Structure 1
Amino acid sequence: MHTVQNTLYIMTPNAYVHLENATVRIDVEREKKLQVPLHHLNGLVCFGNIMISPALMHRLADDGKSLVLMDSSGRFKARLEGPVSGNILLRQAHHRQASDAAFALEIARTIVSGKLKNSRSVVQRGARETSDTIETTQLTRSADNLAASLRAAAAATSMDELRGIEGEAARGYFSAINLIVKTAMRANFQLNGRTRRPPLDRFNALISFLYAMLMNDCRSAIEATGLDAQLGFLHAVRPGRAALALDLMEEFRAIAADRLALTLINRGQINASDFDEREGGAVMLNDRGRRAVVTAWQERKQEIVTHPLTETKIPIGLLPFIQARFLARTIRGEMDGYLPYQSK
């Protein structure tokens, strides 16, 4: 059990989470493990087989606090929330702008550009830090390819063209990621292309788990701002898909999740014993691995950075909320264009 940014993460299998007066109490095998005042929390995130009392679910809904259910590998399953609130005028503007093909394409181009810039930053850092001259050359070439993709994305004239550019750039980026993993760690953490459902190697399992937590934060940021999480610009609308949260997530994938994954691997904070292999080739973090990753995720979110636009020092965990507000201002016409967060 861990609390960060007023969100309680619960990972202990068969834990029982229930309401006790004005607190959330967590029992494991009928023994109290944690008790937190409800007013300290904005939401709960439960991984795997966690039991939750109906009284607590009702109270969370009444208080406007979210309850998110993930499977044990970190894949989103469901979200409980009370009646939708927020600014109806903003939501109306959001729906109008999403129907404007030119506006939607411009926002999507900006989202892809933000993703590519931050991906390139990760590759460039890897090129600076390696002592192998051949790998430095390969990583520099990958960074140059991402720069070319950036130029192509800025000139894309259709959503299909833009998505094609983004997909090709992502394949090159994930190929380069293997060279940023320290040589001694590569036998256990080789990324064999991006695989999702299920992940087929340890690196994919690790970043999939991190992406799931990042996605939850981005969705919370979108909903807190009053936008419609289901209505995206880059990601197509599909029933049950939080497309706008996926849009917001793109600029943070490389710098929030991938960079943390590389740090955990290269520092030996996570190793092969933190993963289990399932039938059919699926690879998943085990309970010990999930705990290590969530702890590192919490610590990372508490690190302070200076936002380049506001020039204020804020915890990394608040960046999605700041960016969601910028997106809302762009949709309302209060900003000339959306500016993704760019890591230094």
Structure 2
Amino acid sequence: MTLHLAQQGTTLRLREGRLVLEEGGLVLADFPARKVRRVAVWGNVRLSTPALVFLLRQGVPILFLSLEGFLHGVAGAFPEPDPTHLRAQFAASPLPLARAFVTGKLRSARALLKRYGLEEADRLAAVLEDVAEAASKEALLGAEGQATRVYFAGLERLLGAYGLRGRTRRPPQDPVNAALSYGYAVLLARVQLAVRLAGLHPEVGYLHAEGRRSPALALDLMEEFRVPVVDHVVLRAFRQGLLTPAHGEAREGGVYLNSEGRRVLLGLLEERFLEEATHPLGFRKSYADLIEVQASRLKGAILGRGTYTPFYLRS
């Protein structure tokens, strides 16, 4: 299980084989310690030294995030990238892998829009042809940008009543974009973890620009899961009334989810991670496992052990 610690001012302690969440001496929740696979610490939440040491000894990764979803860092035992693998990461041809990431994202985007009978799905099919024929990374990015505009035009048809007016970020300008940004941050943290567990360097990427403390490779791999995980959940949450514009709060020049909105979205995302989907190669796994599978398969492709097949939703 993934343990999300998001109630501000609380402390996680270890007591008699259980992880106990307390505030001012009052027990708010407790969990069987050995069933926890990962811990996400959101904002001002403390871990006692015994709890922290126990988790580290059990090999449980601990992710430290801001309330807006920025990943400060990860504590835990991770394999250091093998020098041979690191050289292979730098030497790998970027265009085929970048094309795979974009193709996976756009196929899923088209499948989602097609389910709602939107004409933008056909327009995305045309852009996918441009992606397949792109002879350079610049051409690929141009096609991706065009596809993003088409996709969000389709999403506006579905979510315009809730304030969506295209994609805005840093800061988001409406409740839907606030939910998308928060969801992408949650997804990125999980993908970064998978990349590190696979023994890959998260800052050596192929689609996104590399930079110090910029997890380019995790951002690359995340593209395949934006639509099937985050967009799917956010779309369903607003249309079913689980999230509403009232869950957004205006501050610092943007709109962000309030604490209740974050709680709702986190719960829905965790449910989605446990749902199963069929990989294009025919096997079924949960989304949580698929992320790790794709990180492992990406490593194999980088090392020359086969062609990388992106994950995408079937139309």
Give your verdict on TM over 0.5: yes
In 2, Cα distance between the equivalents of 1:61 and 1:86?
Answer: 20
Amino acid in structure 2 at the alignment position of 1:330: A
Alignment of 1:66-215 (within 5 A): 66-82=61-77, 84-85=79-80, 87-97=82-92, 103-127=93-117, 139-140=118-119, 142-181=120-159, 186-187=160-161, 189-215=162-188
Q: Which runs of 5+ in 1 are unaligned?
A: 1-5, 98-102, 128-138
Instruction: Name which of structure 1's ranges 81-90 and 24-33 shifts more when overlaid on structure 2.
Output: 81-90
Alignment of 1:295-310 (within 5 A): 295-309=267-281
Q: Which runs of 5+ in 2 are unaligned?
A: none
Kindly indicate whether the alpha-carbon contact (under 8 Å) linking 2:78 and 2:196 is maintained by their aligned counterparts in 1: no
Instruction: Name which of structure 1's ranges 83-92 and 204-213 shifts more when overlaid on structure 2.
Output: 83-92
In 2, Cα distance between the equivalents of 1:58 and 1:239?
Answer: 29
In 1, Cα distance between the equivalents of 2:273 and 2:40?
Answer: 16
In 1, Cα distance between the equivalents of 2:208 and 2:311?
Answer: 19
Deviations 1:113-170 (A, max 9, x none): 111111111111121xxxxxxxxxxx31x22221222111122122222112212211
Kindly indicate whether the alpha-carbon contact (under 8 Å) linking 2:39 and 2:63 is maintained by their aligned counterparts in 1: yes
Alignment of 1:270-309 (within 5 A): 270-280=243-253, 282-309=254-281
Of 11, 16, 19, the match for 1:24: 19
Change (3 A) 1:174 1:296: same
In 2, Cα distance between the equivalents of 1:216 and 1:208?
Answer: 12
The 3-state SS of whatever aligns with 1:239 is coil
Aligned to 1:135: none
Kindly indicate whether the alpha-carbon contact (under 8 Å) linking 2:156 and 2:166 is maintained by their aligned counterparts in 1: no
Kindly indicate whether the alpha-carbon contact (under 8 Å) linking 1:93 and 1:332 is maintained by their aligned counterparts in 2: yes
Normalising by structure 2, we get a TM-score of 0.92
In 2, Cα distance between the equivalents of 1:154 and 1:121?
Answer: 17
The 3-state SS of whatever aligns with 2:27 is strand
Instruction: Name which of structure 1's ranges 260-269 and 13-22 shifts more when overlaid on structure 2.
Output: 13-22
Amino acid in structure 2 at the alignment position of 1:179: R
The 3-state SS of whatever aligns with 1:341 is coil
In 2, Cα distance between the equivalents of 1:37 and 1:83?
Answer: 23
Aligned to 2:290: 319
Deviations 1:170-189 (A, max 9, x none): 122112101123xxxx43x2
Percentage of matched positions with identical amino acids: 32
The Cα of 1:75 is off from its aligned counterpart by 2.9
Kindly indicate whether the alpha-carbon contact (under 8 Å) linking 2:94 and 2:207 is maintained by their aligned counterparts in 1: yes
The Cα of 1:56 is off from its aligned counterpart by 3.6
Pair 1:332 & 2:303 matched: yes
Aligned to 2:43: 48
The Cα of 1:331 is off from its aligned counterpart by 1.1
Deviations 1:254-294 (A, max 9, x none): 111111111001111111222222242x2111111111111
Of 2, 5, 15, the match for 1:10: 5
The Cα of 1:238 is off from its aligned counterpart by 0.7
Normalising by structure 1, we get a TM-score of 0.85
Amino acid in structure 1 at the alignment position of 2:121: A
